[in-house]
Amino acid sequence: MTSSPSTSPLRLGLAGLGTVGAGVIRLLNTNADLVTARAGRPLKVTAVSARDRTRDRGVDLSGMRWYDNATDLVADPDVDVVVELIGGSEGTARAVVEAALAAGKPVVTANKALLAIHGPALARLSAEKSAPLLFEAAVAGGIPAIKMVREGLAADRLLRIGGILNGTCNYILTVMRETGKDFGTVLADAQQLGYAEADPSTDIDGLDAAHKLTILAGLAFGQPVAFESLHVEGIRRIGALDLTFARTLGYRIKLLGMARMGDDGLEARVTPCLVPENAPIAQVDGVFNAVVAEGAFAGRLMIEGRGAGAGPTASAVAADLIDIARGHTIPVWGVQATDTPPLQANPVSAGTGAFYLRLLVEDRPGVIADITAVLRDCGVSLRSMLQHTPEQNDADPYVPLVLVTHQTSEAAMQDAVARIDGLDVVTDTPVMIRIETD
């Protein structure tokens, strides 16, 4: 919906003054003339809320009313739009967003966890109260992924959506590939550089990417997706050895979140994948994100950029604020909210694909025959096999063995891996990685 914008300032209440919150204030101050011209009216932060009043955030907060309780900020009559940058799917963040929408006030948020888990209810509340809910900053930072899917591709039927959705994991895998260092060492370095949190589990276990994929899939397919139905794996078990073998085979390893809609329903997963090293997405390295969409008419598109940080995320927040100032808003999922239950992703075992399987096995005759017999019994066909690496010590009683399969069912592959893991000749848990060829 679009309405004629006012020329009076759009008054903002900002809940959360961390890196992104301070970044929003800095951007609005630095680009005030530009933002006013594009919004058709000034954007003015009139009220703020955070836990610590004494902390120096590097921005001027004078003239802004301070609220110790963020939900009190919502009721301020001089706040037209609530900007929620607290984070988290529960607690204060959820209370602020729900209170603002219930009061009929537009909300701009960067909170992917909140939208992934409570998006359906928030969308209904937004529609009931005619209170826009915008969230460009919730997915891939400054990359305009939401606008691409919800607006740029609004007339197309999307077949798949996803990409590299977590910069921390992409950075770790990139450095492991380039240096040969192990996962733990690179993670510690990433934490020192500020690319990984002190508790990195949300990133490295795939949950952050899954939150973003849930949102993208809901937009792509015009209906919210049940977050808990997604299959989610992280990168903890990816070793430097896997990146070496992947290079030998002509691949790179990326943590991908991908959702596809087919005749059999929705496939949605976050998993490490081998991608051909000449594929565009394989070239996206470091802390960068990439979002890929494929439409029946538009074909395949990919946009990439920094997926986090004060600058990119603040830019996305401000873009949403400009839309509100202009009176341009759109339903949360791109279509009118309904009471239809969220889409459930199919069980991962229902999928098919080709797979990379890395084993650590005893270096003695008959081992390969034992393993291939299990694959044969499970109906899994082998495409290629690799043994040893240039660094392999001939005195080591265990050697790495890599098997690459033809297309097979994931259920058959899971059965085979479970049986192989039970063989006496196999030490350490097998590492299975899906191969993405398209």
Give residue 265's identity as a one-letter amino acid code: G
CA distance to 24, 28, 54, 62, 365, per residue, from 17 (Å): 9, 14, 12, 14, 63
CB of 93 closer than 8 Å to CB of 86: yes
CA distance to 242, 428, 431, per residue, from 421 (Å): 18, 8, 10
Residue 254 is a catalytic residue: no
In terms of Cα–Cα distance, which of 268, 250, 251 is closest to 259? 268
Q: How far apart are CA 436 and CA 365, in angstroms?
A: 33
Instruction: Report the b/e string of 340-374 with b at 16+ CB within 10 A.
Output: eebbebbebeebebbbbbbbbbbbeeebeeebeeb
Q: How far apart are CA 391 and CA 21, in angstroms?
A: 48
Residue 320 three-state SS: helix
- Cβ neighbours of residue 149 closer than 8 Å, sequence gap 6 or more: 158, 161, 216, 219, 220, 293, 334
Q: How far apart are CA 405 and CA 412, in angstroms?
A: 11
As a three-state string, the secondary structure of 32-80 is HHHHHHHHCCCEEEEEEECCCCCCCCCCCCCCCEEECCHHHHHCCCCCC
Strand 231-232, strand 265-276: pairing: parallel
- Which contiguous run of DSSP H or E holds residue 269? strand 265-276
- Cβ neighbours of residue 192 closer than 8 Å, sequence gap 6 or more: none
Residues forming the annotated binding site for NADP(+)? 15-22
Q: Please name the residue that has the structure tokens 């139905």.
A: 229
Q: How far apart are CA 48 and CA 227, in angstroms?
A: 31
Active centre residues (catalytic): 212
